[in-house]
A and B are shown apart, each in its own frame.
Chain A
């Protein structure tokens, strides 16, 4: 569909583009400026480079850890634990929400307990989990799950219950069973909600993993941070935090891509 573009329209589009480019430019400038300022103040002793480290040191640490393979290993461990926890949370909460939808009595009975568990500060559970399950990867994955799963169940269940009643009536007028209501209306109409729940939970799982690694791990980025801070290797600490940022952003962006792909249908 090509229509003739009027000069006004061209000018309008041009202006919008220009604004977008400027915004990107400012963002980049801010970042570069921050790095330069950090490096400069550390070099000239305005801030204590032992405590605050500096970009050039960070970069050197990054390269050396990359070379001996330890960085990749720690990243891989943290990523693995996060994704495993995430998968369990999503699959688990879909199953449990479905069960709740199916059996209203069950959901009524359990809902207050879920609400309580969800409002609990989840980091309080981590030490308990370590005592119960020991210091290993399983514990950390369970820790990630415990942070995310209760809220996830509640949100997905709410989405299921709020499906337009008349849509279910439609399936019933076509002589559909309850299972068909679930398969043909409840699940598909909740895809957008499920994805937005996923977007929240991927971040929460990462938080859970880092908490777990703080307390119980011998590997992973959380371990690097806690170990680095105890041995005053601030380069390691800040580098790990930076990488966590990148991982969080990266995981979130994947889900956002999926959401955009699907958004046309809902």
Chain B
């Protein structure tokens, strides 16, 4: 990966394509690349949909190589949802393909002079960009199908659906999976709206004629990759739990803990949880059968394979296996306990290009506003279809939970910095609440997901039983997560690393074997700190202050059943999180 593709959509004679050397961005990948480019090149006060904002796509550091788990891709920009910096990442094939074509980043800037919609084609011979208005308002599935007819089945696609074209703040960017379907999404923060504002409907990648990226030290790399894979396979979470049940394995357990947000965060347990649990989903998928039904990877090179494929009762493909957050958002949070209905909503979200977490949270807010009854799956599906049709109500809903709450006068709106909370009630799991409140990304469960802090030596002497300890741990977790996001590795590797120091060492050896560097755990941690610091600085200049690092008041005032707990971390403690 030795070059950057830059496309200026504001060119006097139409879009201008430039290929540049890496310059100051050399050595960066994934979130490190996207956040550095945004921090360096985007005016923090610009409007997220303006010509001044930039849309950055960056494969992970090790993407395109034989390293296991290395095929995640990051996108970054100023977010129309949070008003701050955004990195969202995804699985799918494009990361590996772009990396093999040598691109460390694609930077899209400016804005087209008219309302034409463009497609970008990248292959070993170079890059072209052309208007193609025949793609207008097509869903992601039809778009990709049309592109495959034109360019062949082997392409990888990065696309937006109608939600992105309408520049809605819950819009995603879709990435095609191993089967060439647009099931993988950079979901959060309205990144699809920014790509839509650039006038780009699709990026088509053809890596024919390219080769796998070669490591600098093949022997070390090969041995480290072997140890890394062995570590992932032997760990009960990455080797057994996730492949068997997917992330939805969490439903029963979070529900048992009383931390499963139900009926728009009104209670912590849902009576229908067992019916939509990972266990029930796996049983259904195994009974219905079909290729990759219960265990499947989101990209080639994944050895955990937490995903799967959802077929309806007649064996027809519906969508990829819905993840825990999706099942929760469209399920328990809306009082819905029908897996077929949830899968249909996942499919609609993917087709229109909508964030499943934001949509589930939004529909629950709409239910609180009286637009539908909790538990009414048909009404929920109808509301999502309003978005696809671009009706005025649909555009409100597609703008996310905060806007919907405002329009319909709902007080209970579970957002931080305008972004909806995921599937863990912060009153039950308070450390998660600290991360929701203070993450640079808005309420985000993955921000403090990587439980590697102790191995990285940054968990240190924390007394986790004191609020101060929770603050310190949350800080360390956010640093560690940011570092993993920079490598482009799937965050789920974190579980094996937590318990198996030798697997963490294998990861460091893998990076060093590939790059020829001699990084240590401390260096990786420093990288995480550096990225977070520049994200915080961007947000500060964008106008996000300590007042934005807060949960909505009702989490402090309304006790959550069954444990009757409120969020108890004080504002002063929250303000300590980024004190490094």
A binds B: no
Interface residues of B (CB under 8 A from A): none
Interface residues of A (CB under 8 A from B): none
